A and B are shown apart, each in its own frame.
Chain A
Amino acid sequence: MAQDAFDINYVAELARIELTDEEKSKLGAQLGDILKYVDQLKEVNVEGVEPAAHSVRLTNVTRPDEVRECLLHEDALKNAPRQVNGLFQVPKIVE
């Protein structure tokens, strides 16, 4: 299993979480310990074993593609931090 130094800056960026310097050093150390612990999984012989995404064997469930009752527009906006013209308002992302 990969044992390169855990790059907390890179992963925090992937997770879109801003960390303070103190958090970075504390988390980095704790995660290092946890990764060392989970490393024991490499002892297990998993040859020929199927990965289990679900604990119970399920089949995919679909329904007819028809319009059904759903959350009302105004209810969906009720908790919006910022809204304008019935839309969620966010900072500009396009130049």
Chain B
Amino acid sequence: MLNQLTISKLTEKLSKKEVSAREAMQACLDRVLSVDGKVKAFMSYDAEDALKQADAADKQIASGVSHADKPLLGVPIALKDIFAVKDQPLQSASQILNGFISPYSSTVVEKLQAAGAIVFGRLNMDEFAMGSSTENSSFHTTLNPWDTSRIPGGSSGGSAASVAADECIASLGTDTGGSIRQPAALCGCVGVKPTYGRVSRYGVIAFASSLDQVGPFTKDVRDAALMMNAISGHDPRDSTSVPREVPDYTASLTGDLKGMKLGVAKEFMVDGLDAEVKNAIDAAIKKLESLGAKIVEVSLPHSKYSVATYYIVATAEASSNLARFDGVRYGKRVDGADPLEMYRKTRGAGFGAEVKRRIILGTYVLSSGYYDAYYLRAQKVRTLIRQDFDTAFEKVDAIISPTTPTAAFKVGEKANDPLQMYLSDIFTISSNLAGNCGMSLPCGFTSDPKLPVGMQLLGPSFGEEKLFQIAHAYEQATDWHTQKPTL
């Protein structure tokens, strides 16, 4: 089935003219019709537009455009509802942007299109990217293809589930505190959080501007490298994007690990780490050793403060970024006698509970009398967290850890305890604060029920090549990535 292919396999067939882009796109659409009633990854999609793009891709292939020129030509890629696509709905799964049609496209979407990809669909997510389970979507909850009584993770739950369920060939999401890596781990796919500044945030609805990064969800490591090639690079429209050459990430897929030093942070082997997750990670570490890597103990002493630091910094930035949703220029408006009343009523009616919680917390920590004690202090702890990583990366090429403390939990299990929910990001959050890169890839399953377990690799800033090198070697020596859920 064409929808089950990877980017590399599909582009090979397309370039040999064994299949058409239309057939591949149709296969994905058929799959969505067949399983999305159970998975609910999509909020919406435009089948007609997707097939039109596929036909255009076929025309280009027929006229001689090669995959050397356009590496993603004809590949169906689905998008988290956070990316602006000109003339398409955009609402970050929030009621406050109901009916909003974007007048422009994000840089990453333009780059995917320039590489020939077919971009389709609005994938479900936690509202304004705030959440770890996709239960905070104001639309519906997406379910984990491996067990539909469980969550897929969040906030990019739809992006992870759709790839795991073969509803698309790859997808795009965002990661602010783990929102790519955590759902990738829980759904059994590859997810990459690039170094901050590697990928443009222009046209991506902002949650926390110093933490947000765009990244791919794919079925294997090679595909992730292909996606990173396409979306990375300096963008003058994003003043935080870094003017630095984009390497060919596929060149790192050598399969060779000799001499690589992998760090295991003692602080990450915490209480609350599920036994089966720990066993899978321990086995993965042994496997990496057998492939030639050297395991070194490292320490990240301030990592225990990362969740606390994050919930001050991210909420503060969110309170600022979400101030624009006031009913004046776009989105939902609830009338008031004066503008202030209009803002209060619009925002009260338009934002969900988690969003309100975070905006109010963020407002508080920035408010007069509290700024120094909370926000300023958190920013200093953030420097210490970054320094921990800098020190560790002097000794090792990458750090390995579990991506999540447990496999996917049940719908509703953590929804009433926000703090419990926040702690599920404990391994991913510090690299958003430090800005360095990270990746999650499959490293096993729990036994009953069979649920994916992900391992996380963290690299130094702009050290994505090392992650690809390590991940690819591990992946090719295992078969986790070939297993699919039964839907």
Interface of A with B (CB < 8 Å)? 1-2, 6, 8, 11-12, 14-19, 23, 27, 30-31, 33-35, 37-38, 40-42, 44, 46, 49-56, 58, 60-61, 63, 71-72, 75-76, 78-82, 88, 90-93
B239 at the interface (CB under 8 A from A): yes
B403 CB, min distance to chain A CBs, angstroms = 20
Expressed in whole angstroms, the Cα–Cα distance for A79 and B325 within the complex equals: 13
A-B CB pair tally, cutoff 8 Å: 180
Contact B376 A49 (CB under 8 A): no
Q: Which residues of B contact A79 (CB under 8 A)?
A: 99-101, 103, 329-331
A33, B348: Cβ atoms under 8 Å?
no
Contacts of B412 in A (CB 8 A): none
Give the nearest-CB partner of B383 in chain A.
A52
B344, A56: Cβ atoms under 8 Å?
no
Report if B15 contacts A (CB, 8 A): no
Contact of A11 among B312, B330, B364, B435 (CB under 8 A): B364
Residue in A closest to B312 when the chains form the complex, CB atoms: A38
What would 10 A/B residue contacts be, using CB atoms closer than 8 Å? A1-B374, A2-B370, A17-B344, A38-B311, A44-B305, A49-B384, A52-B380, A55-B382, A58-B197, A81-B328
CA distance A42 to B240 in the complex (A): 30
Cβ-defined partner of A80 (8 Å) among B329, B338, B386: B329
A46:B380 contact, CB within 8 angstroms:
yes
Taking the closest CB of chain B, its distance from the CB of A85, in whole angstroms, is: 15
Interface residues of B in 415-470 (CB under 8 A from A): 418-419, 422, 432-436, 461
A92 shortest CB reach to chain B, Å? 7
**B319 touching A15, Cβ below 8 Å:** yes
* Assembly CA distance A42 to B337 (angstroms): 44
The smallest C-beta distance from A7 to any residue of chain B, in angstroms, reads 9
Contact A31 B384 (CB under 8 A): no
- The docked-state distance in angstroms from the alpha carbon of A78 to that of B367 is 35
Docked CA distance A55–B343 (Å):
33
B195, A56: Cβ atoms under 8 Å? Answer: yes
| CB proximity of B479 to chain A, nearest CB, Å | 36
Extra A-B contacts (12), CB below 8 Å, given A30-B418, A49-B384, A58-B197: A15-B319, A17-B344, A18-B347, A31-B360, A33-B419, A34-B419, A44-B384, A51-B382, A55-B382, A55-B434, A56-B195, A92-B338
Partner of B240, one of A35, A50, A54, A78: A54
Contact yes or no, B363 A91, CB < 8 A: no
Question: In angstroms, how far is the closest chain A Cβ from the Cβ of B110?
Answer: 14
- Given that A51-B383, A90-B339 are known contacts, is A78 also in contact with B101, CB under 8 Å in the complex? yes
Q: A15-B360, A34-B311 are in contact. Are A91 and B338 (CB under 8 A)?
A: yes
* B342 interfacial by beta-carbon distance below 8 Å: yes
Q: Which residues of B contact A51 (CB under 8 A)?
A: 376, 379-380, 382-383
Q: B357 contacts which chain A residues (CB < 8 A)?
A: 27, 30-31
Q: Is the CB of A81 within 8 A of B373?
A: no
Contacts of A30 in B (CB 8 A): 357, 418
| Nearest chain A CB to B317 CB, angstrom units | 10
Label chain B's interface by main secondary structure: helix
What are the residues of chain A within 8 A of B363 when measuring CB–CB? 11, 14-15
- For residue B308, CB closer than 8 A to chain A, the reply is yes
Q: Does B356 contact A (CB under 8 A)?
A: yes
**Assembled-state Cα–Cα distance A37/B240 (Å):** 31
A49 near B330 with CB under 8 A, answer no
Chain B residues positioned under 8 Å from A61 (CB to CB):
236, 239
Which chain A positions have C-beta within 8 A of B402?
none
Measured CA separation A90–B334 after assembly (Å): 11
The complex places the Cα of A40 from the Cα of B330 at a distance, in Å, of 40
Given A19-B356, A30-B357; A91-B339 close (CB under 8 Å): yes
Which chain B residue shows the least CB distance to A50? B383
Closest chain A residue to B338, Cβ basis: A91
Write the nearest CB–CB distance from A28 to chain B, whole angstroms.
9
Contact B308 A38 (CB under 8 A): yes
Assess whether B331 is in contact with A17, with CB atoms less than 8 Å apart. Answer: no
Partner of A55, one of B100, B210, B347: B210
Interface check B378, CB cutoff 8 A: yes
- Of B101, B326, B374, which is within 8 A of A38 by CB? B374
A17 in complex: contacting residue of B329, B356, B418, B433, CB < 8 Å: B356
Residues of chain B lying within 8 A (CB to CB) of residue A76: 103, 329
Give every chain A residue within 8 A of B305 (Cβ-Cβ): 40-41, 44
A80 CA to B332 CA, complexed, in Å: 9
- 0/1 per residue, B198-212, Cβ < 8 Å to A? 000000000000110
Check: B272 CB closer than 8 A to any chain A CB.
no
